[in-house]
Structure 1
């Protein structure tokens, strides 16, 4: 099967060498899929992308018209793909899977960095300020952590947290069974009782801005909020307001809803029209990272492998465990 791969990174090239073993005739492109390069899919039955290609409804129609039957996103999240359009035009879609420990470890790291005021310490050290004024932190063992989403990543977070001796609450209306080490409660209890709230759910229409002003008002004063999932889960304006009035005591954000055109791009010599991001960065109690909680050697290799396997399964007419049902 002929395939076009978009958004191919240097660190993925070695893994794409396995394409021939899966019977795929693959062309690799560093560019995002767009109207300007749609002709590159000519003759292809499948494409694979990361999360920044144009996979809107108009593009899905163009892909279908060009003969593309399969899209394999090399990401776990798939909110960048118009699934309704895929269903309309008969385009099948798959996503990637990798072990959850990379994101789970990163989430706990952000918690610890906020609790111990690591951002302030590092910034001070850069200018030879080694004072302890304002640096007193808190210990995890005395706190309650609320985990929203108890899928693979959420459960890995729960497993990590058990070693710290903290109380762990979890909320997941879709969980088939309860993870050991956590008390499953409703969302209101998570908001009311948690010192730290960490998000581990996919972004859907129903949970967009689930952390909004009303939700934040229900939380403890000084709550810490961690987001290594999807930026759209948090209403950025509401978060900024809550940081300004100190209702929220800190935030660890690996993703933010305004990150398109920023994430994974070197912008040092460019003017960036993303005021929310740059305003959030100036808070001493906000740690903002470049959407790279997933980014480990193990995960990136698995993401390419999933894309290749999915396209091979599609092409051979086999059951595809990575296919998204919609």
Structure 2
């Protein structure tokens, strides 16, 4: 198959992605069928004549996979690191390959350290007060990162970069990952999760959404943590049992949290709800807490990361359709 004949259907294309799709579509000699809509059975026309699909976080289930297979779709690339929104088992069963993307680890790692600093320095309260000309010092005294013990759960590319960034602050760093890396050991001490729960003043999570990481933070593990622990989640909402987290925040067991992700965010984030009801009671409750910093899954969102995600998505599609090695293939 000639590269000039490759045609990729692109769903959920945001305005900020247009420039990069134009650049990399031309670079890889692909023809793109583009829509800003999420993929559904109602817009199958977008995939007509295409051999590949590029998506983001919209759930991709059996019916859609069957419809795409019937139209000749051979491969799906999700422009995200996570891929739990795609029914992988069924895609494999019907012979559609699936790949994800990566991006510069600096983007989430820098955002994580920013969130840590904002949380321990109580910036949410300080900034809200400033807007109403309340310049008092009551309840805004913070802590110094250098005097804390920080646990980093997950030492992949992002977790390792977080550790490297933290090393400059002088804090004690514990790390956990099933696969230890020599490059991390220069900056952090690997240990088990029980030690991280018991010893760390702050814990940050950088793990994928897997069966083994589902509700890693729950009542049982929260009870093992220090009184007044601070939790940072820039990874996946499913890592934390939201009900248990709320109870721990209300009791003071968890002193503060920074959450770029939350359970059941998929139908809400990246949409404008300022005149609507989201229906996510947990999110509404957490957002009212002065000690909870919430952002709408934007830790990844930099020029560099968006460029990487689009390049790698198109690159994966082309590699699959040309029967070339694709290092980003999931299955």
State the TM-score bracket (shorter-chain normalisation): over 0.9
Paired residues of 2:80 and 2:309 also in contact (CA < 8 A): yes
- The counterpart of 2:286, out of the listed 280, 284, 290, is 280
Paired residues of 2:98 and 2:330 also in contact (CA < 8 A): yes
- The counterpart of 2:62, out of the listed 36, 57, 63, is 57
- The counterpart of 1:167, out of the listed 169, 172, 185, is 172
TM-score (norm 2): 0.95
Establish whether residue 121 from structure 1 lines up as the match of residue 126 from structure 2: yes
Aligned positions of 1:217-236 closer than 5 A: 217-236=223-242
Paired residues of 1:55 and 1:80 also in contact (CA < 8 A): yes
TM-score (norm 1): 0.97
Establish whether residue 143 from structure 1 lines up as the match of residue 143 from structure 2: no
The answer to which of 169-178 and 73-82 deviates more is 169-178
Paired residues of 2:52 and 2:73 also in contact (CA < 8 A): yes
Establish whether residue 321 from structure 1 lines up as the match of residue 321 from structure 2: no
Distance 2:21 2:86 in 1: 22
Establish whether residue 91 from structure 1 lines up as the match of residue 96 from structure 2: yes
Deviation at 1:295, TM superposition (A): 0.1
Deviation at 1:189, TM superposition (A): 0.5
* Equivalent residue number for residue 192 of structure 1: 198
- The counterpart of 1:207, out of the listed 206, 213, 232, is 213
Deviation at 1:97, TM superposition (A): 1.4
Which stretches in structure 2 are left out of the alignment for 5+ residues? 1-5
SS at match of 2:293: strand
Paired residues of 1:61 and 1:85 also in contact (CA < 8 A): no
* Equivalent residue number for residue 157 of structure 1: 162
Paired residues of 1:79 and 1:203 also in contact (CA < 8 A): yes
Distance 1:23 1:2 in 2: 9
* Equivalent residue number for residue 74 of structure 2: 69
Aligned positions of 1:97-112 closer than 5 A: 97-112=102-117
Distance 1:178 1:197 in 2: 20
Aligned positions of 1:251-266 closer than 5 A: 251-266=257-272
* Equivalent residue number for residue 40 of structure 2: 34
Distance 1:130 1:169 in 2: 37
Deviation at 1:178, TM superposition (A): 5.2
SS at match of 2:115: helix
RMSD: 1.1
- The counterpart of 2:256, out of the listed 247, 250, 256, is 250
The answer to which of 222-231 and 202-211 deviates more is 202-211
